[in-house]
Amino acid sequence: MQNTHGFELFFSFIKRYIVIIISLALLGGIIAGAVTFYLLTPKYSSRAQVLIALPEKNDISVQIEEVNVNLQMVETYKSLILGDLVLEQTQAKLANEQQVQLTAKELLKSLRISQDENSMLLNITATYTKPQIAEQIATATTEVFQEISKEVIHSNEIIIISKAKANNIPIFPNNPLNILIGLILGFMFSIGCVFFHHKWQKNEADKSSNTLRYNYRVLKMLDS
């Protein structure tokens, strides 16, 4: 019964200040939208995939051993892609062929290498503020890696199975999520504001009531 009464008081409180609550919640959403669309720089992602192919062998035990060795080699390939040799040549390739000038630090920061679980498939993902440049970074890195693997590791097993493509949909920021967070924060802020205002009004009313009672007692004493 007390819970029901508490809910009634809460909804009555919300109803009383509903206009302020909705206004501040919308303001939070508008501010979040403005920050998202006008202040945050969008980032775009492009991914290429390479397969580390295994030589065909009939012996099952040899095949299993070969798979285990190559799974370990994947870490070596990942380190090679993000190493100075690949990065420097990728940097030069981008500058000469695409007129894209990036420092080694910027190039390294834009790249992410991942591996599909228990597979020989590597994902080379580039993230940048322009979708075309993200595609060019992923493509150049993949091609340089393929060439260097032949020269350094003497491996012809790196096969590009999926070329990078420009994606015009940004991966950052998440516009709907940011606006939703702004609405929620605005709603929480509005609840806090109206609660504080309500409490302040109640305290002021109590002070006025106490003052009136005190004055009434003083007047009553003087009359007597």
Residues in the chain: 224
pLDDT of 73 reads 78
* Residues 138, 111: Cα–Cα separation, whole Å: 8
pLDDT of 123 reads 95
Are 33 and 114 in contact by the 8 Å Cβ rule? The answer is no
pLDDT tens across 68-87, in order?
Answer: 666 677 888 889 999 999 99
User: Which of 11-20, 39-48, 83-92, 132-141 bottoms out in mean pLDDT, i.e. has the lowest?
Assistant: 11-20
Are 70 and 153 in contact by the 8 Å Cβ rule? The answer is no
> Which letter, b or e, does each residue of 166-197 get, where b requires 16 or more Cβ atoms within 10 Å of its Cβ?
eeeebeebeeeebbeebbebbbeebbeebeee
Q: Which two tokens stand for residue 219?
A: 């007047």
* Residues 86, 147: Cα–Cα separation, whole Å: 9
Helix (H) or strand (E) holding 162: strand 158-162
* Band of residue 205 on the pLDDT scale cut at 50, 70, 90: low
Higher pLDDT, 13 or 24: 24
What angle, rounded to 10 degrees, do the helices at 131-152 and 84-93 form? 130
What value does the mean pLDDT take over residues 135-158? 88
Q: In this model, does residue 59 exceed pLDDT 90? A: no
pLDDT tens across 31-56, in order?
Answer: 999 999 999 999 999 999 998 876 55
* Residues 26, 15: Cα–Cα separation, whole Å: 17
* Band of residue 62 on the pLDDT scale cut at 50, 70, 90: very low
What value does the mean pLDDT take over residues 185-202? 83
* Residues 136, 106: Cα–Cα separation, whole Å: 14
The overall average pLDDT reported for the chain is 83
* Band of residue 198 on the pLDDT scale cut at 50, 70, 90: confident
